[in-house]
Chain A
Amino acid sequence: MPALAAPMAGRRRGGWSLAARNAAFGYVLMLPSILFFLVLIAYPLLQTFWISLHRMSTLTRQGEFVGLANYRALLESADFWGAFGQSLVWTVCCLALQMGLGIGFALVLNARLTFRPAARALVLFPYLLSTVVAVLVWQWLFNDMYGYLNYLIEEYGLSDGPVNWLGQSPNAMISTILVAGWKHFPFVTIAVLARLQGIPPALYDAARIDGASAWSRFWDITLPQLRPVLAMVIILRTIWDFKEFDLIFMMTGGGPRSSTETLPLLIYKEVFPKLSMGSGAAIAMVMLVIMVAFFWVYAGQYDREERARSR
């Protein structure tokens, strides 16, 4: 043994132990991620916060330091509170619609269907479509003069006159939410479907023998098995819906009369038409705080429930 141990000890470089060398290697591997984080996330974040403390023109990027004045102005602005409310309605409704459609389609596609492969490819279609194309198609469908939806309505006599889908409140908000639901539900479907296919069929067999109805089998087995994936999908979709810009901007431009103006559209309005970069940055910071708060509460809740279950 000693004859073996001696040369091994001699190989220790610079007196570092094996554990220390492994740890050092770990830090080296982490370095790129840390750099990416600093350059791509921390710097722009601090920069935005810094801008939000200034009264600054978008064109010149010059302006005086005003402290929290931009934030104070926001809290007193009716535009901000309007957009805040619309963002809330938008996010909650989009999320509900996407989750409902997404889970529903996933359940249908998970059933043994002869046309399942084709249907699975087809269901992805709206998600793959570029937003510009999707908006153009839907604007044509929604058009109050020659749109296909109004043609159908007239054909079947569902309404007295043509429906003003996009030019009237609250129709514009509802129509836009419908399009966002249609556009993004496939993401939910794909995520949920992947999980559904991993649920052992024997669980359903056992539940049938135990006397569970189709509804209880969904409630007692499918849903609990989906919990982790639903938690993730809800987080991602909430973030994406909350900061949705292009779809609303192209559908309605925030109108009519700011009725579909959500916080991202308000930022745009502040920064570009109004050239007020400081207050735009302040709204962006508020959005960030809202998202972080949501994430905090939601993740905490999920953690607590998980811990309660595993006890």
Chain B
Amino acid sequence: MAAITLNGIRKSYGPHTVVENLSIDVNRGEFLTLLGPSGCGKSTILRMIAGLDSPTDGGILFDGQRVNDVDPARRNVAMVFQSYALYPHMTVRQNLEYPLRKRGVPKARRAGLVDDVAAILRIGPLLERRSSQLSGGQQQRVALGRAMIRDPAVFLFDEPLSNLDATLRAHMRAEIIRLHLRLGKTMVYVTHDQIEAMTMSTRIAVLDGGRLLQLGTPDEVYARPATRFVAGFVGTPRMNFIPGALVQGDAGCVFRADGLTLDVPVPSLAPSGRQVVAGIRPQDLLPAEGGLPGRVTLLESTGQEVLVTAALGSQEVVMRLEDANGLRVGDTVGLAPRPGKLHLFDAESGERVGP
């Protein structure tokens, strides 16, 4: 177990800066997820923690010790790769043993450790198979096993589930959560899948364009997204965004949507005329008498819920209902945000406005 500190990390490839002034403290035993769209620098950050790449600037500390110049082998980290990176010409047993062999663990002890890991991951029957002959899910397990077997201080995962089908992904997600509970090791997990981030993490670091946008627990990130980007990235279906301004209403400050007769009181803010974007999650948009008139353009039912897409003036919003209540495409429905569930972001900077 180790605490990891990223201290003002910058990484550039020639003129391209892919990670900018990144500072994160990963607590001991924490499951921290780096969440962001493809190309935002997540793998680069993880590789710098592993020691596979060096930061251009800034320090990486393990338990307060600077490790910038420490070889990956000596950082006591294990990594699971998106492609699994199993050694294709070796058997499963040889793959599991490899990190032990390279550390000079004696043969008898190696065999015992392989058996332990194989039992935990239920890959015993596969041990003598060549790793290239395994299915994706089996390879995934072996890759986990190869990471576990050395009992490293830190686990690093680079989108380990993205090559699996949906059922297996959900299953392995649970498996990794259990692994974290069982081992209690510090884990840094990279994904572009917000569901994985929400379900697995102690904390989530949301990244875009190489910059840290928000660092917080899943609940914090979901309930109080720090920027419009975070709000749009976390949560399915996606949050609805409606542009407008903060103006003086009948009883204090209101959000007034552009071109719509939607006023939502936001008493805690000043009616400065500031241009903002309001965000409303689909489940926080309710059908209401006298609400904004939306024309239903699409109904998608999953059996347990219905997603209603409605045109509001020139833009579409999505509403999530438990059942359609006889709603049909073409109907007009009144829409109103659930009180207190409006998120406001500055129209220019995207920063959160207000509480």
Contact B79 A225 (CB under 8 A): no
- Asked if A44 is an interface residue, CB under 8 A from chain B, the answer is no
Q: Determine the main DSSP class of A at the interface with B.
A: helix
In the complex, what distance in Å separates the CA atom of A208 from the CA atom of B79? 10
- Number of CB contacts from chain A to chain B under 8 A: 63
Contact call B81/A202, Cβ cutoff below 8 A: yes
Residue in B52, B89, B128 whose CB lies within 8 Å of A311: B128
Contact B146 A210 (CB under 8 A): yes
Asked if B72 is at the interface (CB within 8 A of a chain A CB), the reply is yes
- Inter-chain CA distance A224–B89, complex, in Å, is 7
Q: Is the CB of B52 within 8 A of A211?
A: no
Given A200-B85, A205-B85, A225-B89: A211 touches B130 (CB 8 Å cut-off): no
Out of B85, B103, B133, name the residue touching A206 (CB < 8 Å): B85
Q: Does A154 reach chain B (CB closer than 8 Å)?
A: no
- Is the C-beta of B217 less than 8 angstroms from some C-beta in chain A? no
How far apart are A33's CB and chain B's nearest CB, in angstroms? 32
Counting CB contacts under 8 A, is B50 at the interface? yes
Tell me, yes or no, whether A229 is within 8 Å of chain B by CB. Answer: no
Taking a contact as CB atoms closer than 8 A, the residue among B78, B102, B130 that contacts A309 in the complex is B130
Q: Within 8 Å of chain B (Cβ to Cβ): is A209?
A: yes
CA distance A224 to B78 in the complex (A): 23
CB distance from B101 to the nearest CB of A (A): 9
Shortest CB-to-CB span from A78 to chain B, Å, is 47
Q: Is A221 an interface residue (CB 8 A)?
A: yes
Q: Which residues does chain B contribute within 8 Å of A234, judged by CB atoms?
A: none
Residues of B within 8 A of A205 (CB): 47, 50, 52, 79, 81, 85
What is the chain A residue whose CB lies nearest that of B99? A210
Is residue A310 contacting chain B, with contact meaning CB distance below 8 A?
A: yes
Q: Does A62 contact B (CB under 8 A)?
A: no
Interface of B toward A, CB cutoff 8 Å:
47, 50-52, 71-73, 77-79, 81-83, 85-89, 98-99, 102-103, 128, 130, 133, 146
Residues of A within 8 A of B (CB): 200, 202-203, 205-212, 216, 220-221, 224-225, 227, 309-311
The list of the 3 closest CB pairs from A to B, nearest first, reads A211-B102, A202-B85, A210-B99
